[in-house]
Structure 1
Amino acid sequence: MPSNSTLNRYYMIVMYAALGMGGSVFSIMAVGAAVFSAAKIFLGRLTMTRQPMILSLAVAGLAYFGSGLLIIAANPADAANYTLAVERLIFLGFLPLYLQLSLMDRESLRDSLEIGAALGAAGVATWAVFEWAVYPLETISFRAHGAPGNPGPYATTAAVLFACCLLASFRAGRTRRPLFVAASLCAAFGLIMSGMRTVYPALIVLPVLLFITWPEARQRLATRGAMWAFAASAVLLVLVGSFVLMSRLGHLLTMANFSGFSPTAANSLGERIALWYCAADAFREAPLFGLGRSDAYRYMHECTSALIGEPLEYSHFHNALATAAAFGGLVDVCATSALLLVPLYWCWRHRRDPDSRYGVILILSILTIYGLNGVTNLMLGHDIHDALFVHLMTVAFVLMVARRPATAR
């Protein structure tokens, strides 16, 4: 029977390969890993930790799940809220996953993540090329959807894989580095082809973040050959994906020139601003526990109709905190914020620890990607987004916290 370390290693590789190739397959595997780990705790086969860092993250996950239950309790007649009790269960998985993943040594965990991410990046690029080949005439409006069938989760997975492969490319030796650089370009290509303007800044922010926080990265980039290779890769990437990149950015400028930053039904930018206005009004209606889903949707419909003359119907308010405020009030805003602020706090505490640097950079990369999503789109509330956040954040905490493999009973 394979050891815990071997089991974790192969499962991790398959998971992150599936992230780029199989859509919700990753979510199913992440939930399966959490359930498996929780069962081991119940059977007494995992040793509980007293690490304040992971315990605080587990509390943040519990608070987010509990906030969903409070939305249900505050709006018991709203049947649409009840699915939150299932959707947010994955956020109880931080501690079980941590205890199971801690059975691996950090080197094996990093290797498994990076190999899986490289395979996933190849899958992301393959999806983009396949879709472009199938729909070659949609040059102006083309957006890759990938296995999830949605540009949003596809772009998020591409950005996360880009971050993992970028980290791997600076950690790897001379033999493997070109492979991880190629994987980084594949993931970046997938992100560009998604047309997801919200996440585009990650292509610049993540390399800059790596450059600032990792001295070894600065030293390697300082060589003339590395600088030329980086510049050539960036130019090649922009040229290959230019038709989508230029089209999406040009469309954004057109919308901004047309209506500025005023609410309007004429374009998606104006619609988002209208949704934010209405989310603020919805928050004032029920500031503590929110309106619940059905009432928030009804309020969105009525408010946007009055504000811009056209009722809008979306599953969220195109901003993470605005959505939390409308659905769950101040309680859900605080619970959502805690999922971002707790990891950020521990990154700050470990910012000078060389042994924690890899985990710190990975956490900051996750927060950057999800933060960008949360500004004008959906941050959490999609099965891939939720499962990826919980699992990869747990991996990052293991890499930041664990000094030696834990023991299984």
Structure 2
Amino acid sequence: MVSFVFNGGGLWSTLLVALKRRRFNVDQPMVALTAAIYAYCGAIILASIVNNSIARDAAHLVPLITFLFFPFSYSVWSISQKTTLARIIILSSMAACFGALLLTGIQYYWLGMLRVEGAAGNPIVFATVVCLSVMVCMAGALSGIERNRSLLVCAALAGTIAILYTGSRIMWLAMLIAGIAVLLIHRQNLRSRNARRLLLVSGAVGLAIAALGFHIILDRAEFLRSDWDALMAHGEHNTALGFRVAMWQIGVDAFREMPFFGHGVGATSRLIKQGFHDQFGMDKGFSHFHNGFLTVLVEAGILGAVALAAIFVVAARNAAKVLRISADPIERFGATMIVIVVITYLIGGMVGILVGHDILDSVLMIFLVSGTYLASGRTLPITEEQTLPVTPAA
């Protein structure tokens, strides 16, 4: 649903700009980010052309449309009042956290799922989106944009519980690091008595949640230790960790074969299946290498990996510039959104998907569009004002 809404809106935004019913907003931060995004898309397409597989890869190239919509969505979203957009983002994230807790309760206690996955079909993907929502609620409570701080804290804690029940260890780490970043960005706002009291209450409740979910944390840690022992002592790859190590080895070998332009976006599944069969004598298949940059290195080579890294580098640079010179709460909130999405995606992408999943791609664009606009964008008028002639009748 998220992908449908964002891509449908992106298509409509493109038509509005093309028909000149909306102006194309040319902000320097947006232009730099657009250049990086389009370079990544170009590298992926070039890899398919070099491998003479453009027709075979056509279906795999369709998701790039989500990225290509970025400047057009940005231009149309620029008619929004920044304060209104920021409140919409905060309240929507609050609703997402409570909704995540509801899904968690249904899936874990009613359906008996050991690792909840929301409606994403994947615990890590679900945890990634919820982590972003939790961090936005934290930023909203600390920035002072939304007055009902207690409800935002409750929403953040609800989302934290949902992330705990996903069993996604990498997202636990991402949530911790992103949370520290949010606190550091808004540390000036923590000096008030109410903010300190709210932080102490949140910490106490967070510790209570960790205590209640200690068995989940302990079980996931034991799984990791068991997988590590099996891999090191017996070379056992038929575990979650073993599968990842095997895929990383297959991916590195595939990258060495074609380091500059890669094998093309459609070759990943075939390379993984063939690698498991030839190197490990296993009949296994996956759609990606469970490392975002390794996946793009195999698919589009060094050129693609550099372009993908540039997206996050440019976004982080835009955010850092705003945080360094601006004291405006809306601008700092937008920059915080960028910091949150960069940290969460890069950490999650180390052992999972970085880009290439429909909801992750759409949410990444939503955060980059709205974060960049709130941080450093200029608001455009909805329609061009017409100057009336000065006459006695007028």
TM-score (norm 1): 0.86
Are residues 32 and 296 of structure 1, via their aligned partners in 2, closer, same or farther at CA, if it must alter by over 3 Å? closer
- How many residues were matched structurally? 381
2:48 partner letter: I
Deviation at 1:183, TM superposition (A): 0.9
Deviation at 1:28, TM superposition (A): 0.6
Deviation at 1:260, TM superposition (A): 4.3
Answer with 257-266 or 239-248: which moved more: 257-266
Are residues 247 and 57 of structure 1, via their aligned partners in 2, closer, same or farther at CA, if it must alter by over 3 Å? same
Deviation at 1:164, TM superposition (A): 1.1
1:357 matches 2:329: no
Conserved 8 A contact 2:37-2:308: no
Task: Name the counterpart of 2:392.
Answer: none
* Secondary structure of the corresponding residue to residue 169 of structure 2: coil
Are residues 80 and 216 of structure 1, via their aligned partners in 2, closer, same or farther at CA, if it must alter by over 3 Å? farther
C-alpha offsets along residues 312-349 of structure 1, whole Å, 9 cap, x if unaligned? 31100110111011112122212221221110121232
Q: 1:132 & 1:404 partners in 2: Cα distance?
A: 44
Q: 1:153 & 1:354 partners in 2: Cα distance?
A: 33
Q: 1:316 & 1:337 partners in 2: Cα distance?
A: 18
Q: 1:173 & 1:262 partners in 2: Cα distance?
A: 55
Q: 1:63 & 1:343 partners in 2: Cα distance?
A: 14
C-alpha offsets along residues 207-235 of structure 1, whole Å, 9 cap, x if unaligned? 21012122334324896633430221211
Conserved 8 A contact 1:265-1:309: no
Are residues 170 and 227 of structure 1, via their aligned partners in 2, closer, same or farther at CA, if it must alter by over 3 Å? closer
Q: 1:283 aligns with which of 255, 262, 282?
A: 255
C-alpha offsets along residues 276-297 of structure 1, whole Å, 9 cap, x if unaligned? 1221111111112211245443
1:55 matches 2:27: no
2:335 partner letter: V
Q: Write out aligned runs for 1:8-407 (5 A).
A: 25-77=1-53, 80-136=56-112, 142-172=114-144, 176-220=148-192, 225-260=197-232, 264-352=236-324, 353-355=326-328, 356-407=331-382
Deviation at 1:152, TM superposition (A): 2.4
Unaligned runs of 5+ in 2: 385-394
Deviation at 1:394, TM superposition (A): 0.5
Are residues 55 and 263 of structure 1, via their aligned partners in 2, closer, same or farther at CA, if it must alter by over 3 Å? farther
Are residues 121 and 100 of structure 1, via their aligned partners in 2, closer, same or farther at CA, if it must alter by over 3 Å? same
Conserved 8 A contact 1:57-1:94: no
* Secondary structure of the corresponding residue to residue 118 of structure 2: coil
Deviation at 1:406, TM superposition (A): 4.4
Conserved 8 A contact 1:64-1:91: no
Conserved 8 A contact 1:220-1:226: no
* Secondary structure of the corresponding residue to residue 338 of structure 1: helix
Task: Name the counterpart of 1:7.
Answer: none
* Secondary structure of the corresponding residue to residue 271 of structure 1: helix
Unaligned runs of 5+ in 1: 1-24
2:351 partner letter: T
Q: 1:233 & 1:334 partners in 2: Cα distance?
A: 42
Are residues 224 and 70 of structure 1, via their aligned partners in 2, closer, same or farther at CA, if it must alter by over 3 Å? closer
Task: Name the counterpart of 1:14.
Answer: none
C-alpha offsets along residues 329-372 of structure 1, whole Å, 9 cap, x if unaligned? 12221222122111012123223122332122110100111011
Q: 2:286 & 2:207 partners in 1: Cα distance?
A: 37
Q: 1:296 & 1:144 partners in 2: Cα distance?
A: 27
TM-score (norm 2): 0.89
CA RMSD of aligned residues (A): 2.3
* Secondary structure of the corresponding residue to residue 238 of structure 1: helix
Q: 2:376 & 2:233 partners in 1: Cα distance?
A: 43
Conserved 8 A contact 1:288-1:328: yes
Q: 1:173 & 1:31 partners in 2: Cα distance?
A: 28
Q: 1:373 & 1:34 partners in 2: Cα distance?
A: 26
